[in-house]
Amino acid sequence: MSPKNIVLVHGAGGTATTWSNVAPLLSAAGYDVTLVTNPMRSLAGDVAHTAAVVRELSGPVLLVGHSYGGAVISNVGRESGVVGLVYIAAFGPDEGETVNQIVERYPPAAVSKYMRRGPNGEWSSEHTAEYWAEIGWDVPVEQRVVWDTESRQSDNAIFTEPTGVPAWRTLPSWYLVATEDRTLRPEIQRDMAARMGATVAELPGSHFTPRARPAEVAAFVERAASRVAAA
């Protein structure tokens, strides 16, 4: 069944502008594109918010998640009408697993030195010149300004709440690995993609793949949509 709708879900700290250069390319290819801005107070809350968006759409839906957004789509994918999942350097937790549990099984990523915790346990990243040089070197300067302006704190619960039954167990999934990622280590991405049986592609660059390489990301999403339609 050909997906008419593509729903794009941002990661922790993000906004819909994560996809500002990807969405127009998908729209030009003929898809109805919906951008989600989640509150990031809890995984359950973000899942409920995104699921409500999906239920308002008519026709089959392809869900696309970046970073923490992968944990969201893994749960929202259980909604009727969702026909496939696309992970862009994203988390794909298994049932009962949290985002924190995934990353804690591996050595700390370089981004950990720039993470700051607020008085209520919330997290944000410190976007210094050193941060951009080490973590997001390939992000265009104008995109860095947008990220610095719109970046939001993420409550700890988005990382510590366990997922439900993941939709990747029953839906076709695709995974785009960022091979130079210093936020979500590439070996973690590969391990998650293998566990879910995803169709995998790899792309050089940082964790900010949608901002740094929008054309390649859009092309990957379009390939997934075409494969769903063919199946």
Q: Give the separation between CA 59 and CA 41, rounded to whole angstroms.
A: 29
Write down the architecture of domain 5-230 according to CATH: 3-Layer(aba) Sandwich (3.40)
Kindly give the residue spans of alpha helices, DSSP state H, lying in the chain: 23-28, 43-55, 69-76, 99-104, 129-134, 141-150, 157-160, 186-196, 209-212, 214-230
136 is written with which tokens? 């997001």
pLDDT tens per residue, range 172-230 = 999 999 999 999 999 999 999 999 999 999 999 999 999 999 999 999 999 999 999 88
Q: Residue 7, by phi and psi: left (phi above 0), alpha (psi -120 to 50) or beta?
A: beta
- What would the mean pLDDT of 61-78 be, rounded to a whole number? 98
Residue 158, pLDDT above cutoff 90: yes
Where along the chain do its domains lie?
Answer: 5-230
Q: Are the C-beta atoms of residues 66 and 158 closer than 8 Å to each other?
A: no
pLDDT tens per residue, range 32-68 = 999 999 999 999 999 999 999 999 999 999 999 999 9
| Model pTM score | 0.96
Identity of residue 215: A
